[in-house]
Amino acid sequence: MRIVNLLLTTTLLALLSSFSFNVHAAEGAIKLTSIAQVEIEVTDKKGNKTLKRSTVTKAVPGTEVIYTTTFKNVINKPVDKNFVIDNPIPNDSEYKGGSAFGPDCEILFSVDGGKQFGHAEELKIKDADGKERTALAKEYTHIRWIYKKELAAGKSGEVGFRAAIK
Amino acid sequence: MLTPQLSWAVGTTAGTTISNSASLSYSIGGIAQASITSVAVTLLVDEKINLTVVGGVTTSVATPATAQATAFTVTNNSNSALDFSLTVTWAIAGDNFDPTACSAFVESGATAGYQAAQDIATYIDELAAGATKTVYAVCDIPAALGSGNTGLVGLTATAQGNFNATGYVATAGALGGVMTETAGANTANVDILFADIAGTEDIARDAKHSAHNTYSVSIPTLTITKTVASVLDPSGGSVVMPGSVITYQIAVVLTGAGTITGLVITDPLPASTTYVPGSITVNGVTKTDAVDADNAQFSANTVNVSLGNVAAPASITITFRATIN
Per-residue confidence (pLDDT) for residue B83, from 0 to 100? 96
Question: Which residues of B, range 63-122, sit inside 8 Å of A by Cβ?
Answer: 79
Best interface-test mutation with A: which of B8, B18, B31, B45 has the largest number of A CBs within 10 A? B18
Between strands B296-299 and B245-255, the pairing is unpaired
The ipTM, to two decimals, is: 0.79
Spatial CA neighbour of B305 closest among B275, B263, B246: B263
Per-residue confidence (pLDDT) for residue B185, from 0 to 100? 66
Q: Quick check: A155 and A30 in contact, CB under 8 A?
A: no
Question: What distance in Å separates the CA atoms of residue B43 and residue B321, rounded to the nearest whole number?
Answer: 88
Tell me the shortest Cα–Cα distance from A131 to chain B, in angstroms.
Answer: 26
Give the CATH number of the domain where residue A119 resides: 2.60.40
Q: B48-217: CATH homologous superfamily?
A: Immunoglobulins (2.60.40.10)
Could A60 and B6 be called an inter-chain contact, meaning their C-beta atoms sit closer than 8 Å? Answer: no
Phi and psi angles of residue B32, each rounded to the nearest 5 degrees, phi first:
-65, 140
Tell me whether A20 touches chain B (CB under 8 Å): no
Tell me the shortest Cα–Cα distance from A161 to chain B, in angstroms.
Answer: 11
Most confident of A135-139, B59-63, B168-172, B290-294: A135-139
Could B195 and A92 be called an inter-chain contact, meaning their C-beta atoms sit closer than 8 Å? Answer: no
Q: Quick check: B156 and B84 in contact, CB under 8 A?
A: no
> What are the CA-CA distances from residue A135 to residues A44, A97, A127 (Å)?
41, 11, 10
| Amino acid letter, B302 | T
C-alpha dihedral sign at A111, A114, A117, A120: positive
How does pLDDT run across B123-149, given as a tens digit for each residue? 999 999 999 999 999 999 999 898 889
| Contacting residues of B for A157, CB less than 8 Å apart | none
Question: What distance in Å separates the CA atoms of residue A104 and residue A100, rounded to the nearest whole number?
Answer: 13
Spatial CA neighbour of B167 closest among B188, B185, B150, B149: B188
How does pLDDT run across A30-43, given as a tens digit for each residue? 999 999 999 988 88
Tell me whether B130 touches chain A (CB under 8 Å): no
C-alpha dihedral sign at B141, B145, B148, B154: negative
Tell me whether A136 touches chain B (CB under 8 Å): no
Residue A90: cis peptide before it, omega within 30 degrees of 0: no
Could B45 and A35 be called an inter-chain contact, meaning their C-beta atoms sit closer than 8 Å? Answer: no
Quick one: pLDDT band at residue B4, thresholds 50, 70, 90?
very low
| Amino acid letter, A144 | R
Q: Which residues span the domain enclosing A124?
A: 30-165
Q: Please report whether residue A136 resides in a domain.
A: yes
DSSP structure class, residue A101:
B
Question: What distance in Å separates the CA atoms of residue B106 and residue B119, rounded to the nearest whole number?
Answer: 6
Q: What is the pLDDT along chain A (166 residues), one digit of tens a residue?
A: 444 444 444 444 444 443 333 344 456 789 999 999 999 888 888 888 888 999 999 899 999 999 999 999 999 999 999 999 999 999 999 999 999 999 999 999 999 999 999 998 899 988 888 888 999 999 999 999 999 999 999 999 999 999 999 9
Tell me the shortest Cα–Cα distance from B130 to chain A, in angstroms.
Answer: 13
Tell me whether A38 touches chain B (CB under 8 Å): yes
Among A56, A61, A85, beta carbon nearest to B22: A85
Q: Quick check: B12 and B48 in contact, CB under 8 A?
A: no
DSSP notation for B166-178: TEEE-BTTBPPEE
Closest residue of chain A to B24, computed from CA coordinates: A85
How does pLDDT run across B83-129, given as a tens digit for each residue? 999 999 999 999 999 999 999 999 999 999 999 999 999 999 999 99
Higher-scoring residue by pLDDT: A126, B5: A126
Q: Quick check: B13 and B129 in contact, CB under 8 A?
A: yes
What topology does CATH give the domain B221-324?
A: Immunoglobulin-like (2.60.40)
Could A83 and B27 be called an inter-chain contact, meaning their C-beta atoms sit closer than 8 Å? Answer: yes
Closest residue of chain B to A56, computed from CA coordinates: B43
Closest residue of chain B to A18, computed from CA coordinates: B39
Neighbouring C-beta atoms of residue B148, cutoff 10 Å: 10
DSSP structure class, residue B121:
B
Question: Which residues of A, range 147-166, sit inside 8 Å of B by Cβ?
Answer: 159, 164-166
Closest residue of chain B to A38, computed from CA coordinates: B2
Per-residue confidence (pLDDT) for residue B167, from 0 to 100? 87
| Contacting residues of A for B34, CB less than 8 Å apart | 28
Spatial CA neighbour of A56 closest among A80, A38, A32: A38
Is residue A7 classed as helix, strand or coil in its secondary structure?
helix
Radius of gyration of chain B (CA): 34
Per-residue confidence (pLDDT) for residue A11, from 0 to 100? 42
Q: Quick check: B264 and B305 in contact, CB under 8 A?
A: yes
Q: Can you give the length of chain B in residues?
A: 325
Enumerate the CATH 2.60.40.10 domain ranges in chain B, comma separated: 48-217
Residue B234: cis peptide before it, omega within 30 degrees of 0: no
Q: Please report whether residue A124 resides in a domain.
A: yes
Q: Quick check: B288 and B294 in contact, CB under 8 A?
A: yes
How does pLDDT run across B195-204, given as a tens digit for each residue? 999 999 999 9
Best interface-test mutation with A: which of B10, B36, B194 has the largest number of A CBs within 10 A? B36
Question: What distance in Å separates the CA atoms of residue A36 and residue A39, rounded to the nearest whole number?
Answer: 10
| Cβ partners under 8 Å of residue A80, min gap 6 | A150, B26, B27, B28, B29, B30
Neighbouring C-beta atoms of residue A107, cutoff 10 Å: 17
Q: Please report whether residue A94 resides in a domain.
A: yes
- Looking at every residue in chain B, the average pLDDT score rounds to 91
Neighbouring C-beta atoms of residue B201, cutoff 10 Å: 18
Per-residue confidence (pLDDT) for residue B186, from 0 to 100? 66
Best interface-test mutation with A: which of B41, B44, B50, B192 has the largest number of A CBs within 10 A? B41
Distance of CA B169 to the CA centre of its chain: 29
The domain total for chain A is 1
Spatial CA neighbour of A125 closest among A85, A113, A89: A113
Overall average pLDDT of the B225-234 stretch: 92
| Contacting residues of A for B186, CB less than 8 Å apart | 57-58
DSSP notation for B25-60: E-EETTEE---EEPPPEEEEEPEEE-EEEE---EEE
Spatial CA neighbour of A72 closest among A28, A106, A32: A32
Per-residue confidence (pLDDT) for residue A26, from 0 to 100? 53
| Contacting residues of A for B36, CB less than 8 Å apart | 26-28, 30, 32
Q: Please report whether residue A19 resides in a domain.
A: no
Tell me the shortest Cα–Cα distance from A85 to chain B, in angstroms.
Answer: 4
Could A25 and B38 be called an inter-chain contact, meaning their C-beta atoms sit closer than 8 Å? Answer: yes
| Contacting residues of A for B42, CB less than 8 Å apart | 57
Spatial CA neighbour of A72 closest among A104, A7, A27: A27
Per-residue confidence (pLDDT) for residue A10, from 0 to 100? 42
Enumerate the CATH 2.60.40.740 domain ranges in chain B, comma separated: 221-324
Closest residue of chain B to A87, computed from CA coordinates: B22
Q: Please report whether residue A61 resides in a domain.
A: yes
Tell me whether A63 touches chain B (CB under 8 Å): yes
Q: Which residues of B255-275 are buried (b: 16+ CB within 10 A; e: fewer)?
A: eebbbbeebebebebeeebeb
Is residue A4 classed as helix, strand or coil in its secondary structure?
helix
In the A/B pair of chains, how many CB contacts fall below 8 A? 153
Max intra-chain CA distance, chain A: 61
| Contacting residues of B for A25, CB less than 8 Å apart | 38-39
